Amino acid sequence: MKKLLCLIIASIVLIGGCDYMPFESSEDIPKSVNVKTYKGQYMGDHHNDNKVFLKKYKKDAERVFKEYAKDTFDTEMDVTQIYSYTNGSKYGSYPAIVTIGRAKGEYPFQLYLRMRATEDNKLTVFMPSISESAYTGAPIASMIYKRYQKEFDAAHKNFKQVVEKEGYYAMNETLTHKKDASGIIDDYMTIRTTGVDDGETFKKDFLPVMKLKGQAYNDAMDELMEKYPIIKSQLNTEFNIYYDKSKIKTEQAADYLLELQKKTYKDMKRISGEKTITASQNKINPQNLEPISKEFNIDGGMIYD
């Protein structure tokens, strides 16, 4: 049945439940399969290579991660997750490591770093050739959060209260890979942005501001957002909920999100960038990764369905 939804874009994305699994959950994957990769190796061979690589460099990964965070952001961090994967390009493939950690103190951002081994077998942070913005965006997102903390906290609190009252719920453990990102990562809310191009720029312009308090901090942060407009224009705030399809129909979820959007965005008027509310069917569990979940993104605008 056709239905008009105003001020809403509802797009359905099919998400395969097995696009990511940590090694601890993938021991039953066969070591040989009949699908070869571009390198000509079996997928199981890559899995074995990655497992050996992780065992060899896991301690180094934690050390390199903490050193990078301290040197670039002057921040102490706790490592929360380390896993390896196969990094591929037109030049070939090689095992690499992802290390994720959370900053301590006043700016509790999460940092997602990719690492690789050099020719002399030393582990190093993988630096994209274009810029370092994917990494510097993490603390900058936390700085923007602090600048508008009153608004963010109000939106998060109201969102959480309404969602839990209506029987929806937050991220569960089997879906936490969706939170493998840099920025402010919360149970219902994720805040991310594009950072500055290199760590030296961050040290020069942003680190001094992080030490300020009160109105002095707000004024300095406003100046930084004027100087680097991309950190404001590329700001992305995403709210996440999950629902049980046996209890809540898809049509009900879409209607519910429209109402929830109005309430949430009222608290977010002063905050720039993209704001998204996402609801997903929670069908994924450790024992069965085959089912597909449906995801609805609500951004604003108009669509006829």
pLDDT of 285 reads 44
The phi, psi pair for 124, rounded to 5°, reads: -140, 155
Spatial separation of the C-alpha atoms in residues 111 and 90, rounded to whole Å: 27
Flag the least confident range among 135-139, 141-145, 149-153, 249-253. 249-253
Spatial separation of the C-alpha atoms in residues 114 and 99, rounded to whole Å: 6
Q: CB neighbours (10 Å) of residue 107?
A: 18
Most confident option among 134-138, 177-181, 287-291: 134-138
Q: Is 207 a residue whose pLDDT tops 60?
A: yes
The enclosing H or E element of 223 equals helix 214-227
- For the chain, domain boundaries: 1-17+131-305, 22-126
- Indicate the SS3 state at residue 105: coil
299 in Cβ contact with 9 (< 8 Å): yes
DSSP state of 25: G
From 249, 251, 276, 273, select the one nearest 261 (Cα to Cα): 276
pLDDT of 254 reads 78
* Per-residue pLDDT tens over the stretch 67-89: 999 999 999 999 999 999 888 76
Average pLDDT, stretch 218-226?
Answer: 97
The model's confidence at residue 272, banded by pLDDT at 50, 70 and 90, is confident
* Per-residue pLDDT tens over the stretch 154-200: 998 888 888 877 777 665 555 555 567 789 888 788 899 999 999 99
Angle between helices 133-147 and 214-227 (to 10 degrees): 140
CA-CA distances (angstroms) from residue 118 to 41, 103, 131, 225, 279? Answer: 22, 27, 19, 36, 41
Cα of 14 vs its chain's centroid, Å:
19
Q: CB neighbours (10 Å) of residue 226?
A: 9
Q: Which residue has the higher pLDDT, 20 or 112?
A: 112
Per-residue burial over 150-184, b = 16 or more CB atoms within 10 Å of its CB, e = otherwise: eebeebbeebbebbeeeebeebeebbeebbebbbb
Q: Is 24 a residue whose pLDDT tops 70?
A: no
- Indicate the SS3 state at residue 58: helix
Q: Is 228 a residue whose pLDDT tops 90?
A: yes
Spatial separation of the C-alpha atoms in residues 153 and 145, rounded to whole Å: 9
82 in Cβ contact with 115 (< 8 Å): no
Q: Which residue has the higher pLDDT, 179 or 44?
A: 179
Average pLDDT, stretch 1-15?
Answer: 37
pLDDT of 259 reads 77
Q: Where are the alpha helices (DSSP H) in 166-213?
A: 199-201, 207-210
pLDDT of 51 reads 86
